[in-house]
Structure 1
Amino acid sequence: MAGTRRYSARVETTRTGRLWHTVTLVVAALGLVLQIVAIVTRTDLLDHSAVTASMPEQVRRYFCYFTIQSNLLVAVSMALILRGRTDTRLFRVVRLASLIGITVTGVVAFVALAPSSNYTALNLLCDRLLHIAVPLLTVVGWAVFGPRGKIHRDDLLPALAWPVLWLVATLALGPVVDWYPYPFLRVNEIGWGQTLLNCLVIAVLFFALAAAARWVDLRLTRRRPASVTR
């Protein structure tokens, strides 16, 4: 009887975990699709100062936002989990990169990116889905359901390559197109000194989150078998 109860609990955990990851995937995809539809239909814009920008430029800017990229990585990692594709290094790197990226997205949004007073109901919905709902679902889902034992020391630098390259590319391209995705990166307004200081703080946050994720993963792996998270 005791063995049956343990088996049932394990099955329930598996089903609950799959449901949680499914909801995370759906919410991320919904936010991403609604936002691009709003841009393409000109129902709303991510950057109201760029109202005169062409449609191709608006779409390009959409994919330049760290928020969009981190939500895309979350969606990919959730899809890989749900399909059972968790035994490759590619998954481990994408999963860790998405976890770090979406956590930074949530933290920065909470601290420095309050919703604009110009937001319509649709834009506010997209903002809350991509900046609040997906970060919470991703972090809680990872902590509670895993999968466990998927953060290796050798995966830390590859996972951190994406956010660092994003910062470098954003600063390099900014002067060329005269546009920056976030106020704390606008060199033309706050200067290089403040911008580089902001980048340093964000980079430290990246590395700290990666180290913390590995430490937490190691501790949680010892407490429960990795199989219950799939």
Structure 2
Amino acid sequence: MPSRLWNGAIAALVVFGLVLQVVITVRAPALPPAHAVGTLSGAPLATRLVRVASFFTIQSNVLCAVVAAQLVRDPRRDGRIWRMVRLDALLGITITGIVYATVLARIHEPKGWEQTVSNAIFHYVVPIMTVAGWLLFGPRPRIDAATVARAAIWPLAWIVYTVVHGELSDWYPYPFVDVATHGYARVSVNAIGVLVVCVVVAAGYLVGDRRLPARS
């Protein structure tokens, strides 16, 4: 079945990318101590792994892998919680792909084949395949206003976690949440902007879910 093959490929790609990312993280030096935004080196291994898991990009890709794996088992998957997780995967990976391609790609320079490949998987291949898979195979309809509201919980939780973790560790995954540099007022404005973008993207998927042909 094409949808199972497509979603199986998404799940496999994310797992492969995560394996590469773990290898990169393990190889990163623990010394000297470093707290630069987005850096993995300069901390013990456990801390480096926490840093990896703190990236919105990584969390978005993991959500995509979870959803894709479930669709391999059951292409007609449904349920209130599943709808929320599916929409979070869609909005998260859409934002990941757009923001990286338009903003972060200019300042991020992968080094070595592991970084180059994992970067391409997380920021280009999985975003394109996930959105294309939704367009081609659905399942639809699966999104309503309540799902959009529930889907906002994860981005909000990520922002709160990022600020609290940054306050405790003096490390932030992205410049726009760097309280040490910008202060709480500016970061609060940035956070509101992120939530607004998430809701707008989710609303876009809601409209598409209602207007595109049903797929189940």
Question: Where do 4+ consecutive residues of structure 1 move more than 6 Å?
Answer: none
**Structure (1/2) with the larger helix percentage:** 1
Which sits farther off after the overlay, 81-90 or 142-151? 81-90
Contact 2:141 2:210 in 1 (8 A): yes
Corresponding residue for 2:108?
Answer: 116
- Residue 116 of structure 2 aligns with an amino acid whose one-letter code is L
**Residue 64 (1) aligns with residue 58 (2):** no
Corresponding residue for 2:32?
Answer: none
CA distance in 1, matches of 2:56, 2:38: 18
What is the identity percentage for the equivalent residue pairs of Structure 1 and Structure 2?
36
CA distance in 2, matches of 1:176, 1:132: 32
Query: Structure 1, unaligned stretches of length 5 or more?
Result: 1-14
Contact 1:80 1:91 in 2 (8 A): no
Distance change >3 Å, CA 111–CA 139, structure 1 → 2: same
Contact 1:24 1:134 in 2 (8 A): yes
Aligned-pair CA distance for 1:107:
1.4
SS at match of 2:139: coil
RMSD: 2.2
CA distance in 1, matches of 2:37, 2:176: 15
Deviations 1:42-79 (CA, angstroms, capped at 9, x unpaired): 49xx9784522001100111111111111111000001
SS at match of 2:152: helix
Corresponding residue for 1:154?
Answer: 146
Distance change >3 Å, CA 118–CA 146, structure 1 → 2: closer
Corresponding residue for 1:83?
Answer: 73
Aligned-pair CA distance for 1:40:
2.1
Corresponding residue for 1:25?
Answer: 11
How many residues align? The count is 209
Contact 2:91 2:198 in 1 (8 A): yes
CA distance in 2, matches of 1:19, 1:195: 41
Aligned-pair CA distance for 1:154:
1.8
